[in-house]
Structures are given as C-alpha cells and as structure tokens.
Structure 1
Amino acid sequence: MMPHPRLALVATTFALAPALGGALLLLPARAAAAEQQEQGLRLYGGIGWGYDDNLLRVPDDRPAFSGKRSDRWRQLDAGAVYDQRIGRQRVALVAKASTLKFDHFQQLDHDGRDLQGTWFWEVGNKLDGKLGARYERALAPYTDFFSDERNMRELRRHWVDAGYQLHPSWKLRAGFTRERFEYELLRQRVNNRTERAVEAELLYTPRSGSSVGVVARRLEGAYPLRRPVLAGVLDDDFTQHELKLRVHWIGTGVTRLQALAGYVRRGQSWPGDGNTSGVNGRLNAFVTPHGKLSYEASLWREFAPIESTIASYTLNRGASIGASWAATGKLKVDASTAYEERAYNPRAGFAAGADLSDSLRRTSLRATWQASRKVTVSARWQQQRRSGSPVLGLGSFDANTVVLNANLLF
C-alpha cells in the first residue's frame, strides 16, 4: 500500500501560512513606501509579540510535539525604505531584517530577510516598464507539513516588464518572471524548484479609465531533485499554457471590478493523469463608499501544482470577503474571512473512489492605531482551520493566533 505523503502546496491561491516569519507582522516598509513615495530614504524599527495555540498545525488526531501545541514568540524588526523619482525614472527599494525567538520550540528561532528593489523606467512617451528583484528568507508554512524541525525557505524572484503605447487607447506589453525556491531542511529539498513565466498582453484602455486585455502566458516549473518512490522516482516538472481576458472596470466611482480568467492547459511529467485543462480565473470586487466603510470580495478557480507521491495537481476553488472601518482619523479596523476547497487529482495507479479533497478556512480581525505620524500600533487575531483528508494523511486542525506590534518610522 502506498504510504501517505506529506503534501506541500507550491502555488496555492489561499495564503494560509501559519503566523511565522514575515507573515506575522504588518510590513511597515511597504506601508511606508506607499505613504512616503518619492521621499528619499526612511528608516524604521519594530517590536512584536505573538501567541499561537497550535503553532505547528498539529492535526487533532495526532499527539503534539513534546506534548505541547501552543507557543509564544518575540520579534524585532529593522529596515529601510527608499523611494525616489529621478527625472522620468523611479526607484523603490525595501530592506528588512527580523529576529524571532520562541519560548518553547526554540529550534525554530531564526533571522529573516526581505530585500526588494524595483526600477520603474520610461523611455520617450511610448515605452515604459519595470525591472526588479526580491530575496526573502523565512520559515516555510507548516499547514501541510507535519514536523517540529526548522524549515527555512529562500525565495529569489526576478522580473522584467515592458509596454509599448501603440495608440492612445492601445498598449502592447510583454514580461518575464523567474522564481526559485530552496529549502534548508534536507528532507524538504525535493521541493526545490524554479518557475519561469513568459507572457504577452494586448491592452485596450478607453477614456473612461476602465481597461480590457488579452493575455497569453506560458509557465514552466522545474524540480532539480526527483522525488523517490518504490517504483523509482517521480518527475514533478510541469508546463502550463494560459489564454485569459484581463478586465478592470471602474463603476459608479465607488465600485471597481478586476478579473483575470480564461482557458488553461497544464501538463505534468510521469506518471500519468497530470494533464488537465479548463477554465481558471479570479474575480476581485472593491466598494469604497464616501464614508468610513469599504468592502472587498474575491472568487477564484485555479489549478495549482503540489509535491506529492499520490496527487499530481490540485484544483482550488474559493471565496473571500473583507471590510475596513475607519473608526477615527487614527484608528482603522479590518476584518476578513476566506474559504477554499482543494480537490487533488490522483497519480496513475492510485485507487479510484477515495476522497482526495479538503478545505481551508481563515478568519481575521485587525486593529491599527496611528498613534502619531511616526508610530503605529496594531493588534491582530486570526483563526485557521483545515477539514483534512485521511487518504492523503492530512488531519483536521484548528489554530488561533494573536499578534501585537509597534513600529517606529524615523
């Protein structure tokens, strides 16, 4: 009988990483970059405290590591933001360093890094684009990985994008992105991969400000290390072709809709049944009335590759809704909830009829207080749940996280 795998999603659309690493805190550098654009160099520092009652996402039917599920941690942050326009060019840089210390699971203590840089370039009146890179070092999610070992993951991303204005209302755009993921833990290194994406788009933008475009995209995933099984090794390499319609519709002034949907064909190497096709897409809606409340919602249906000896890919279908309340000039409250179903496609030779699906739920509430122009204090609660799939070795769990932060912008 084939052993249960330890699954690790590599392209899930539902961002449910546990409250570890950079996912714990507000990223003040990004917020500062948005609010202090073209203001040169800014420095910031932060301190955080967190508690999670199921830190390692231990399933309900399994014993906890060393008899303990919960833990507390402390985090220190320091970073810099540089955002400056030089003539027609603009440069945006973010550098962040963090240190996390846990009370009980001290083997998870680590230093995190997040470095980002983007050059927004323009040549003449018709040619513009972006050139950028990012490096991130953080703990990988434990949502689908049962272990109490430290599993650091490094992400290296490079991208280039160029657009040519064919006509006041028509634009031709092309882009290339390369992402590389590397895991520190030896038994997770079979999940190391490189993804390369090439896309082209013809975009139409009328005077109303809305836009519609046709996007053609090719995505290739390559795994340098093969996954061992009893019959030999598995080849997780995949290729995906997409032809989608991108729509940005500006409604009555308070409503916006963004959609990217169309036909996707995906192929994966041995063993069989890794080939699939169908409609994939995502719809986002934003409502910003002229008051203190604003709303947003999303729907999606997308294929995603996974790393497993049983399943070759998953179809993720989900929905989310959120609201923001500007209670006062200094206090803002955000609430959101999301639900996603994951249907796994079995590899050749696996017994048919088994329930290869599970679901993820997330609910969060966050309050942010702008104590002064330079000081921000925030508190956040999040609950994460997984229904589980016994066939896949995924048990159900429930986890609650509370995080407090204070950030100072110099």
Structure 2
Amino acid sequence: MTEPLVIIGGGLASGGAVRAIRDGGHDGDIVVISTEPHHPYERPPLSRDYLRREATRSSVFTLAPGWYAENHVDVRTASTVVALDVHSHRLTVADGQDLKYSKLLLATGSSPRSAGLPGEDLLGVLSLRTLENSDLLHATLQEAVRDGGGRLVVIGDGWIGLEVAASARTMGLEVTVLGHGSQPLGKVLGETMGAFYADVHTAHGVIFRRQVVVASIDGIDGRVHGVTLGDGSVIAADVVLVAVGAAPNTGLAVSAGIAVRARELGGGIAVNGCLTTSAPDVYAAGDVASIPSIVYDRPLRVEHWDTALRSGPHAGAAMIGSDTLYDHLPYFYSDQYDVGMEYTGFTAGPGDYDDVVISGSLQSREFVAFWTSQGRVRAGMAVNSWDRIPEIDALIRSRTRAAPDELERFHERPARPQNWSTPTAGGTGSGEACTGSSPSQKSTK
C-alpha cells in the first residue's frame, strides 16, 4: 500500500496544493494536518473586510469544507506535528499518533513576532494572524467603541498595522500608530511612498508617532490602559495591536535537519525551483519557503497572499511529478480607505535601489511608482491604476534600462499588457535547478 501525501499547514498554500494534486489526476490518499480548528483558508480579509464584517466568515475559505470530503481528502484540524523523521518518512502528532508519508509538504506559515514588552500579556493587547485573532480583534474594537473609549494604539507601521488602522478608523475608533522609522512602511517602500501612505492615513484622522521607542504597555486590573514611550510620555489605549512583523515557522524543519536560509536572506526553509527541500520527498511552500528567483539572482521569502496562492499549487504539482521551474515575481495588494494598490517585484530595502520614479500624480492618488537601480526597474506599484501589473512585470523581467522621463510617461499610456520589451528569464537564479539539485543538507541558522 502506498503511503499518503501529507500536507502540514492550514493556510492558502495548503489548500492550493491539495487542489493541484487532485486536479493533476492523483487519486491516492492525501492527509492535511492543521493546528487550527478549520479547513485551510486565506488571511488577507482578516485585517480588511472580514475584520470590518463587510465579508462573511465563509468567504475566507477558498475551498468549501465539503470539497475535501467529496475529493477524499483527510483533513485533521486542531492537530500539531511535533516531530519529523525524514529518513523513515514518518511524523508524530501531539496526540502520540505516528503517520508515514510518501511525500510531505511543509506549509507551516509564519507567526507574529512578539514586541518583547512588559505588559504584552494584558487583556486587550492583541496580534493578528488567525481567524480567531481577527474575531477577537473585531469584538474587542467593537466593545471599546460601545464603552465610549475606542482608542486603538498600533505598535508597528507595516502593512498589517496600517490595514488594521484603516479598518479601525472605518469602525469609528481613534487610532495612533507607533513606528521606529521616519515614515510608515519606510523599510519596504522608502521615504517617498512611506510619506504618501502617512498622508493618506492622516487625512482620515490617524495619528502617527514616528521614530519612537516603546518602553511598556500599561494596564489597570489586568487590562490595557495605555502605552508608555521611551521619553516617558503615555498614550491612552483601550486596545493595543502588536504588529511588528512575523517569523517563519521553521522549527519542525530545523529539528529534522532540513536546510534553512540565513537570516540576512530572509530565513525560511531552503528549496530549489521545484520547491523541494534538502530532505528527500519533502517540499515547502508559502510564507515558510525561501524560493530561488531567476530574476533577482537570489532566494526570496515573501510573506504575501500571492506567494501562497502560487507556490502551494506549484508544490502540489511537483509532488506528483511536475518539473516546472517556479518563476513568479512577488506580488501583493492592499486596500486602505479609497486607495487601492498592487505591487510587483522585489527590493531588499533602501540600499537595493537608487531612485523612485513617479508616473502620474501623488496628489490625485493615481500613479505608478518604480523602484530602479542603475536605470533598471526592480519593482513597481500601481496606485488606483488598474491593469498595469503585466506591463510592470514585463519591464522588470526585460532588465532594460529606462530613462526616468520614459518611466514618468508610463501612466499616460493606455494599459497594454507587456507593453515594454519582451520579458526574458535573465540571470541564473541561485544555481538550484528544478531537477537534479536540492538545497544543501547543512542547515544555515
């Protein structure tokens, strides 16, 4: 009897992998093991429309729970894998059960980082990752509004923090966002685009405290009451969201001796172009996977919806024999108030580009921004400008040098997919082909 294909994880990558395996014609046993008490679901709505209750709970499930039963997929919820033996192809669940597998996908995702602050365990201090987190955050915000307070303090000025800030303002709360940098999203977008998003939120009443150090989260009778900054000032709070980033859930892989990337490369489980790890018959996808990029000549670990959407099915197909090389540019989107944004490409931070070129108008909030290095576009962001991503993708892949004035005229042109040079793969990736090569067995910590 052939052992089952096993998938560990309950997010979008897991659900996509299962669907790809069945769509690929595999009729053998599949087991999905998730620590959460749900079938696999997607997470972007948790900080957006679902948090505001503009979307239903059922809308977050990309496959209806009944689909799994109809397709003979064994989904084991509220179960945690505590040990993995890659040599014997065996894993152990927290209840003591052992399970053998023929092939295994690690789609274990990431977990919110702790701020490491006194008072982080007070009632009303929350983080956001799971469906239950979003339910609790919604209920806590609503309770704060009903009780006449309604003051939210967000520690962290990244995407999750700002999306929750926008949702909370829509729900009627007072919002203060605390950040280390001179602008929100500065580490990701740089000063110009960070200032743009700061202006968007400020226009909707959000207060920003920049370049601050948080000393403690303070409470009365076990419940949060405020946040004390390093200069001694206190910001009153009925609810505090800690949104200081996420860490990949690599513990199971590390304990099994599976190679992981160095922290300076984003961490995560090292995979090759077929999303195969250093262990035989073990794959990784989603937030936890560090995937070699043909375009950027380095591995990328990207914690975004689209990576899970694409890498999960890619890994599922690879598990049943596909040898297609993974070649997708990172992509994500964010909707905040009346500002919709799509972004594609990658930069490792301000030192990874030398200019930001704007095509369109920041004032009208309709534009395309390009991050360039020596005239070559490394990433692009379309704000309230739709159907431009295929062109931006093509421009990045072409590696063609474009003068700033040429990029500035981009927004004036009608949307036309692949309007620029024909994209080419370019580069050599990480030297890890889809077949015949797996990441080093040595784990890099």
- Length-normalised TM-score, structure 1: 0.27
Could you say which structure has the higher helix fraction?
Answer: 2
Question: Which structure is higher in RCO with an 8 Å CA cutoff and minimum separation 6?
Answer: 2
Say which structure is richer in strand. 1
